[in-house]
Amino acid sequence: MLNGLKNTFRIKELRGKILFTIAMLVVYRIGAHVPVPGIPFQGMLGLFQSAGDSVASGAMALLNLFSGGALSYVSVFSLGIMPYITGSIILQMLQSVVPSLHALAREGEVGQTKITQYTRYLTLGLAIVNAIGYLFLFKSFGISFNGAGAPGIIFDIMIVGTLTAGAMLIMWIGELITQRGIGNGMSLIIFANIMAGLPQAIFSSVEGTAGVITTVVIFVIILCVIPLIVFIERGQRRIPVQYAKRVVGRRIMGGQSTYLPIKVNTAGVIPIIFASALLYFPAQIAVFFPNIGWIQTVANAMSTGWINWILNVLLIVFFAYFYTSMVFNPDDTADNLKKQGGFIPGVRPGKATANYIKNALNKITLPSAIFLAIIAIVPSIVFSFTGNQLIQAFGGTSVLIMVGVVLDTISKVESQLKMYDYDGFFK
């Protein structure tokens, strides 16, 4: 491990990518503490406490979690990464029902570029709508905007414009990290948001009713769960593949045996992120109507409680199958095997091979999806009974996202090291 870490910084290109990623995340965290124009610093500190328990403990807590605490400071990054994630979800789901988008997705890099552009436009529209809702939300909390004598409508436009610009800047930072850094920018930003709330959650747990002993017990449980998560994340279903012998010139090619690796958790942490984004959507709607009780009740019910737990399980299982079907196509895999002269022993090439791979994929996706769902909701259930902030901030969903992001990033660094003939982290 230490040798792999040393080798990482010996390669100039890889070292530059890592430092660039760190720099972008630092810029993001700085922006999360920059208030929107006209917000007094003292007025930000008691935002959640003055909002009322029914709001702060439900929808608002979920909004603040995914903004990395930026919402509680009414910062320029209050909208967080969620407009971009929501836009990505909508575009990916539309690819399954809109033929033109499905055709674009199959056109390779050119098609993906167009889909990315559509995602940006959709993110801009969602950010504007969310910014308007947040403006109403801030005003309903009694936050006084110091407009320096400017007309109210001008100042409102400036607030909405600032929040929208912040959301687009976050999207730009995420794309820059993906293109020029190491790892997935969207996932790393969520990772940074979770880590940002960890110190405060630890202090709250130690100073609250839980005490030091309970806090240590929680950390021990988390440390015990992490190896299990790593085991599932790195697990594979290996389908044996045999290549037929063929004569190419004077040489005999093929004849070797290998395997087709299928990850047990092909979708990674995406199902949890997508499920959280959809459950986050009612909270977004609720900010437009802060004074309407039944809307707040629905938003809070979908953010916490048994309704949230049931929906979380169903959505995680659904998105596990949905995203797996998008990133792994059994028909294309079967066609590629057939073209290369490969076959699965005992299975006819073509359609039968595709069905075999599809059945194997479905069998391993269900248990992995249920595992993700259990890890995601059990800490929420425990938190509902204990009220420990550490469990909420560093519960199953957070640990899954963090472990998944770390493993994905390490895998990308590993592949870069292997390109330069260096020993990686895993031997």
**Confidence class of residue 1 from pLDDT cuts 50, 70 and 90?**
low
Q: Which domains does the chain have, with CATH numbers?
A: 2-419 (1.10.3370.10)
- pLDDT > 70? residue 257: yes
Pair 143, 294: CB distance under 8 Å: no
pLDDT value at residue 284? 67
pLDDT value at residue 57? 46
In the chain, % of residues over pLDDT 90: 7
For residue 345, the 8-state DSSP code is: T
Angle between helices 12-31 and 152-180 (to 10 degrees): 160
**Confidence class of residue 165 from pLDDT cuts 50, 70 and 90?**
very high
Dist CA 365 CA 319 (whole Å) = 11
pLDDT value at residue 52? 41
pLDDT value at residue 290? 65
Between the CA of residue 329 and those of 72, 94, 308, 336, 363, what are the distances in Å? 43, 17, 31, 11, 15
In the chain, % of residues over pLDDT 70: 80
**Confidence class of residue 204 from pLDDT cuts 50, 70 and 90?**
confident
**Complete DSSP assignment for 149-202:** T--HHHHHHHHHHHHHHHHHHHHHHHHHHHHHSSS-HHHHHHHHHHHHHHHHHH
Region of 370 on the Ramachandran plot (φ > 0 left; ψ -120 to 50 alpha; else beta): alpha
Pair 342, 241: CB distance under 8 Å: yes
pLDDT in tens, 260-273: 888 888 887 778 77
Between the CA of residue 12 and those of 16, 19, 150, 359, 416, what are the distances in Å? 6, 11, 51, 44, 11
Query: What would the mean pLDDT of 369-381 be, rounded to a whole number?
Result: 83
pLDDT in tens, 211-227: 677 778 877 887 888 88
**Which segment, 45-54, 160-169, 262-271, 320-329, is predicted with the most confidence on average?**
160-169
pLDDT in tens, 78-103: 888 888 888 887 888 788 778 888 78
- pLDDT > 50? residue 51: no
Pair 308, 279: CB distance under 8 Å: yes
Dist CA 57 CA 391 (whole Å) = 14
Phi, psi angles (nearest 5°) of residue 234: -100, 0
Pair 104, 111: CB distance under 8 Å: yes
Q: Which of 134, 42, 141, 126 lies closest to 88, judged by CA?
A: 126
